[in-house]
């Protein structure tokens, strides 16, 4: 097991115990992590006691339809922005009626806009409760799958720092 997977495993374990001990629930709105956050949270038994579900909003149309993010907000702030990440976390928490909402949005691999190639990789992670919203910018330099793990770890670390 590499170091990143070990860190991830320990983070999930501490989050799982916290949520179970306090009988709290979480939901996720994932874009750049494509379901990896949900996979990590549901990979242990009793996950149904704390994890209610997720929206994998990889496409902007899904963000608009299921997370109520407007085209105006996407155009004004950018789909990969603190603002959109916070909306995603808030909206998924409200839609699933959970104590916490997790969200990820970012560029984890080289991407194109029209004919222009971009290699500035970064993501926003966000956590929402009914009393706070907290976000973090994550700069990335690795390969796609490594970056997805890094974004997931940063989300879990943010939650642990904020809550546990």
> How many other C-beta atoms can be found within 10 angstroms of the C-beta atom of residue 115?
5
Q: Which helix (H) or strand (E) holds 142?
A: none
Topology given in CATH for the domain delimited by 3-17+25-163? Maf protein (3.90.950)
pLDDT bucket at 6, cuts 50 / 70 / 90: low
- Dump pLDDT digits (tens) for 105-151: 999 999 888 899 888 999 999 999 999 999 999 999 999 999 999 99
pLDDT number for residue 81:
98
Which residue carries 């916070």 as its tokens? 86
pLDDT number for residue 3:
54
pLDDT bucket at 96, cuts 50 / 70 / 90: very high
Question: Helix or strand or coil: residue 112?
Answer: strand
pLDDT bucket at 4, cuts 50 / 70 / 90: low
What's CA 83's distance to the chain center, in Å? 13
pTM, rounded to two decimals: 0.93
Distance CA 136, CA 140 (A): 13
CA atoms within 13 A on the CB side of 155: 36
């Amino acid at each position: 097991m590499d170091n990143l997977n070990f860190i991830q495993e320990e983070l999930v374990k501490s989050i799982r115990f916290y949520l179970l001990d306090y009988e709290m629930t979480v939901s996720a709105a994932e874009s750049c992590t494509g379901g990896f956050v949900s996979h990590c949270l549901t990979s242990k038994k009793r996950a149904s006691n704390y994890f209610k579900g997720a929206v994998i909003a990889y496409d902007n149309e899904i963000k608009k339809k299921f997370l109520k993010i407007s085209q105006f907000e996407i155009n004004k702030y950018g789909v990969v922005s603190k603002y959109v990440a916070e909306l995603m976390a808030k909206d998924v928490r409200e839609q699933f009626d959970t104590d916490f909402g997790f969200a990820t949005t970012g560029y984890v691999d080289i991407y194109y806009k029209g004919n222009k190639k971009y290699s500035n990789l970064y993501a926003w992670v966000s956590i929402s409760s009914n009393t706070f919203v907290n976000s973090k910018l994550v700069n990335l330099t690795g390969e796609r799958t490594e970056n997805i793990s890094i974004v997931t770890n940063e989300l879990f670390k943010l939650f642990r720092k904020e809550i546990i």
